[in-house]
Amino acid sequence: MSAITGHQAAASDLRARYARLPADRRVRLAKPTSNLFRFRSDAGRIARLDAGALDRVLEVDPVARTATVQGMTTYEDLVRATLAHGLMPHVVPQLKTITVGGALAGLGIESASFRNGLAHESVREVEVLTGDGRLVTATADNEHADLFRGMPNSYGTLGYAVSLKVELEPVRRWVTLRHIPFPGASGASEAAEAITAICRAGSYDGERVDFLDGTVFSGNEQYLTLGRFADEEPYQPSDYTGQRIYYRSIQHREHDVLSTHDYLWRWDTDWFWCSRALGAQHPVGRLLWPRKYRRSDVYRKLVALDRRTGLSGRVRGWRGLPQEEPVIQDIEVPVERLAEFLAAFHSEIGISPVWLCPVRLRNPEGWPLYPMQPGRLYVNVGFWSAVPLGPGEEPGTYNRRIERLVADLDGHKSLYSDSYYTREEFEGRYNGPAYRELKKAYDPGGRLPDLYEKCVRER
């Protein structure tokens, strides 16, 4: 049986299993990994649709530069298959177990996003198991173009992506890095100006820039990292999967070189910097932590276990420390508002480090459920930590502040983590009228949850 025939059988089987789920239960997609940061109690009547087996790369076409994959294929598997042909997806989200379907439904970004947009913008077609139980193929210009445009930021509330065809681009063997410091209080606005100039020219100091991201350690210490494909390694390549830690290297060296594979996964080994809280960056802890378990999905499982058991909260209580509010968010603001956002963030939230990633939509029409303005340059700001609650402060205080700040600066917030919007605000920010039309067309019976219920109410 060819991979495509095998896929058709698996997709029909998924559809049949979906039809058999009890009608009075809320459907939830079941797969072995997740990168969501909403830890739900699973209370209520849930029916799980196990889609974990739809995780294969079906075909890589090196001539057309496309790959056809099943919806639950991880980027780790897709990258392995495409690098073998000297190709990569246009945008590879940094965490290895993010899936191609998940990055479509929940959005994905990386350091190529200043030239290639969001991860889903290189999807050419998507086969969807819709809420009303059909299997349809949606493209930008067929009868399901509304679904094609509405899947991004729908979080599995219109249907599930069962297979996708994605565009690929050629790679070289190495990526050379240059970490440019922007010190001092004016560093953030200087970095924003540099981002604007680099994104406009596609180069810096006369050298092509293929990848661009940034790391903020404090209000006085910020860096942009410029990546450039190279055929030759100018010096000994680095390896940050061992004792050395990638994000720390940014503060200590101006130039570096990684294999393209290691560059794509540079943030996964230490989950950006979040492995620190689990002891994986302590010299002894790191020696003891087996290399194959230095991965974002392992750390996330440990954090999920802690959230379920409430262990670290109890330990803080025993030690007389204040409880903490998790603040795990990705937001984006227009580049010209970046310095303002960072200044307010440092004084009101105080988490560090912080990740920066410029992004400009590739599609001139934009995407209805995530209303970024086409043609406008934004900077994604990612922060994943916790803030101690002061006396009388309720959990939600700091996440609400971020929502207000983002709104004041004409930005947007991703929905993979906690949100506190009222329904009215949410509908205004995420195009409620367009969503309702899509829901009517693809899930009129409300078999799948509503987007607001799923992303805001279900905490």
Ligand X SMILES: Cc1cc2nc3c(=O)[nH]c(=O)nc-3n(C[C@H](O)[C@H](O)[C@H](O)COP(=O)(O)OP(=O)(O)OC[C@H]3O[C@@H](n4cnc5c(N)ncnc54)[C@H](O)[C@@H]3O)c2cc1C
**Pick 108 or 187: Cβ nearer ligand X:** 108
What is residue 136's three-state secondary structure?
A: strand
Kindly write out the interface string for residues 10-39 of this chain, putting x where it contacts ligand X by CB under 6 A and - elsewhere: -------------------x-x--xxxx--
130: nearest Cα among 143, 117, 119: 143
Bridge pairing between strands 378-388 and 354-359 = antiparallel
Residue 383, phi then psi, degrees to nearest 5:
-145, 130
Token pair of 148 as six digits: 């094609």
How many chain residues touch ligand X (CB under 6 A)?
31
**Pick 237 or 442: Cβ nearer ligand X:** 442
Considering only the stretches 56-64, 91-99, 139-147, 211-219, report the one whose residues sit in contact with ligand X under the rule CB under 6 A.
91-99
**Pick 243 or 267: Cβ nearer ligand X:** 267
Residue with tokens 């030690």: 319
Token pair of 275 as six digits: 């492995």
Bridge pairing between strands 46-50 and 26-30 = parallel
By residue count, the chain amounts to: 459
Q: Residue 164 in contact with residue 69, Cβ under 8 Å? A: yes
Considering only the stretches 14-22, 95-103, 224-232, 331-339, report the one whose residues sit in contact with ligand X under the rule CB under 6 A.
95-103
**Pick 103 or 257: Cβ nearer ligand X:** 103
Q: In one letter, which amino acid is 43?
A: A
Among 89, 106, 353, 411, binds ligand X (CB under 6 A): 106
Strand partners, 259: 174
Token pair of 305 as six digits: 């276990």
**Pick 113 or 238: Cβ nearer ligand X:** 113
Based on the shown chain and the rule CB under 6 A, indicate whether residue 329 belongs to the binding site for ligand X.
no
Least separation, in Å, of the C-beta of 128 and ligand X? 8
- Can you tell me the distance from the alpha carbon of 439 to that of 449, in angstroms, rounded to the nearest whole number? 10
Kindly write out the interface string for residues 356-395 of this chain, putting x where it contacts ligand X by CB under 6 A and - elsewhere: --------------------------x-x-----------
**Pick 101 or 187: Cβ nearer ligand X:** 101
Token pair of 183 as six digits: 């010190």
- Can you tell me the distance from the alpha carbon of 27 to that of 45, in angstroms, rounded to the nearest whole number? 9
Among 81, 88, 103, 402, binds ligand X (CB under 6 A): 103
Among 156, 214, 358, 411, binds ligand X (CB under 6 A): 156
**Pick 71 or 187: Cβ nearer ligand X:** 71
- Can you tell me the distance from the alpha carbon of 271 to that of 25, in angstroms, rounded to the nearest whole number? 35
Residues 241-270 that bind ligand X (CB under 6 A): none
**Pick 230 or 302: Cβ nearer ligand X:** 302
Cα dist. 337→201, 334, 356, 378 in Å? 20, 5, 13, 9
- Can you tell me the distance from the alpha carbon of 200 to that of 190, in angstroms, rounded to the nearest whole number? 15
Q: Give the binding site for ligand X (CB under 6 A).
A: 29, 31, 34-37, 71-72, 93-94, 97-99, 101-103, 105-106, 108-110, 119, 155-156, 160-161, 328, 330, 382, 384, 416
